Every structure is written in C-alpha cells, then in structure tokens.
Amino acid sequence: MSQHDELTAVRHRIDDLTRTVDRLVEHVGHDVREIRRLRTDLAQLHQSVDLLHGRTASGEEPGTPRGAHPSPAPRHQPAPRPDEVVWVPDTPYDSSLWTDADDEGLGALHRHAP
C-alpha cells in the first residue's frame, strides 16, 4: 500500500469517527466538555493528515518541519579555563546575611499563620 493510499485510509477513518461523534452528540448534547474536546481533537487530526498529505505530495520528509533544512552540528561551549572558574568555599556563610530572609514556602521565621 502506498503512502498516499494509507493517508486516504486514515482520512476515511477520521471521517467515520466524526460521523460517530455526531451521532453521539444526539444522545449526550453538543455543549458537553468531552464532546467539544473530541471535536477539537478530530479537527487537529484532519489538519495533521492534510499536512502530511501535502508534504508527501511535494516529496518532503513527513517528520521534518515545513521548509526546514538539515540542522548543522550543535556548537558546544568550550570548557571554562582554570582562571575563569569561581571556587565556592565549603565554610558556612555568615548568618547575618540571612537575618531578614524568609524561608521559601514556609514564610517568615518566628511568625505564625493567622
């Protein structure tokens, strides 16, 4: 089966599913969140299949963004030179730096919730 035939078959399945959802709306109602979500998903499926069909017809690879060129090799940052490295001492910080600080997520020290 060719790719065009497979995409056509997928379109038919989506159309069948759309008709099934339309019948379901008669029982459930159209203003139900799940029905709206199904219809949005079906619209996205239709759009995706149309995009895939357009790409395969033009010879583009389906997995690549439209108009994309092969990406060059990623550029890596060089390792820092030893004279650029900042050493952080293991000794404790001066506690006066934290006297007015709040504990993140816990609120201010020595305060109680109302």
Residues 20-78 have pLDDT tens digits of 999 998 888 878 888 889 999 999 999 999 888 786 655 555 555 555 444 555 566 66
- Tell me the three-class secondary structure of the chain, residue by residue: CCHHHHHHHHHHHHHHHHHHHHHHHHHHCCCCHHHHHHHHHHHHHHHHHHHHHHHHHHCCCCCCCCCCCCCCCCCCCCCCCHHHCCCCCCCCCCHHHHCCCCECCCECCCCCCC
User: Using one digit for the tens of pLDDT, what is the confidence trace for 99-114?
Assistant: 777 666 665 556 665 5
| Phi, psi (rounded to 5 degrees) for 90 | -85, -5
